[in-house]
């Protein structure tokens, strides 16, 4: 990558239990060997706004769905523009950013309770600031996702019920159809082995580097 070239922005998407965190770690290991300058991060963040979201998602706080959506939007904008570690600046400086969830997660998850149009409008500022070069969606059957969640988590979060994950997955697929031509989305079959999934992700990412 040339010194004056912007970094690539890669957003990972998927229902809970899809294996995003594992695949981001494997991709990071690969990029490190390739000597690519990268930064991994996630939403919600560990900022004060993100901490409120975590409390809501784990049931320690309660809030109206519109309030939750607004908190995600505020956390996202701070994540982009924060003077200390904002990712927009990192990308402009040539660092590839790998994000665990971005605004497509808001569309899929929060449209369970809110109109999709409202969510798209609320996230327009983030989209104008930084749109991913590619959204990698790890598609997994909700039943398998629940098996993974049950084996790996001590406490389930707000959306971690099979019926809700089924709804979220449908929402993702509907969003992809709706935004075809606007968003670069690559769907990866996540029902396979970790290595098979990782190989497809590496092949996808290298097309953008």
Q: Is 14 annotated as a binding residue?
A: yes
pLDDT tens-digit series, residues 47-57: 999 999 999 99
Q: Is 127 annotated as a binding residue?
A: no
How many domains does one find in the chain? 1
Q: How confident is the model at residue 161 (pLDDT cuts 50, 70, 90)?
A: confident
pLDDT tens-digit series, residues 82-123: 998 899 999 999 999 999 999 999 999 999 999 999 999 999
In a domain, 127, yes or no: yes
Q: State residue 92 phi and psi, 5-degree precision.
A: -60, -30
pLDDT, average across residues 120-145: 97
**Which neighbouring-strand residues pair with 137?**
13, 187
pLDDT, average across residues 135-147: 96
In a domain, 150, yes or no: yes
In a domain, 188, yes or no: yes
In a domain, 117, yes or no: yes
pLDDT for the residue numbered 52: 97
In a domain, 1, yes or no: no
The overall pTM is greater than 0.85: yes
DSSP for residue 2: -
Structure tokens at 5: 């070239």
Q: How confident is the model at residue 150 (pLDDT cuts 50, 70, 90)?
A: confident
Q: Is 16 annotated as a binding residue?
A: yes
In a domain, 201, yes or no: yes
DSSP labels for 9-39?
EEEEE--TTS-HHHHHHHHHHHHHHTT--EE
Contacts of 67 (CB under 8 A, 6+ apart): none
Q: How many residues does the chain have?
A: 209
pLDDT for the residue numbered 1: 41
Quote the domain boundaries for residue 96: 9-206
In a domain, 119, yes or no: yes
DSSP labels for 169-180?
HHHHHHHHHHTB
> How are beta strands 96-100 and 185-189 bridged, if at all?
unpaired
CATH code assigned at 68: 3.40.50.300
Going by C-alpha positions, the residue among 129, 122, 131, 169 that lies closest to residue 18 is 169
> If you average pLDDT over every residue of the chain, what do you get?
93
For residue 199, pLDDT over 80 is answered with: yes
pLDDT for the residue numbered 84: 86
Share of the chain above pLDDT 90, in %: 87
In a domain, 3, yes or no: no
Q: Is 75 annotated as a binding residue?
A: no
């Amino acid at each position: 990558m040339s010194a004056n070239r912007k970094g690539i922005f890669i957003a990972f998407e998927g229902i809970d239990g899809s294996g995003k965190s594992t695949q981001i770690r494997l991709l990071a290991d690969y990029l490190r060997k390739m000597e690519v300058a990268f930064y991994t991060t996630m939403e919600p963040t560990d900022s004060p706004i993100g901490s409120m979201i975590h409390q809501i998602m784990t049931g320690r706080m309660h809030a109206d769905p519109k309030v939750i959506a607004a908190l995600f939007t505020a956390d996202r904008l701070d994540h982009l523009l924060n003077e200390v570690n904002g990712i927009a600046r990192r990308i402009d400086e040539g660092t590839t950013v790998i994000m665990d969830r971005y605004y497509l997660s808001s569309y899929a998850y929060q449209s369970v309770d809110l109109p999709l149009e409202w969510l798209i409008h609320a996230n327009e500022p983030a989209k104008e600031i930084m749109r991913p070069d590619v959204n990698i969606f790890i598609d997994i059957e909700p039943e398998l996702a629940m098996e993974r969640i049950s084996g790996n988590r001590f406490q389930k979060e707000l959306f971690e019920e099979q019926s809700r994950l089924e709804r979220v997955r449908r929402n993702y697929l509907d969003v992809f159809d709706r935004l075809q031509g606007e968003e670069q989305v690559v769907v990866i079959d996540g029902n396979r082995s970790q290595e098979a999934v990782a190989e497809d992700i590496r092949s996808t990412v290298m097309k953008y580097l």
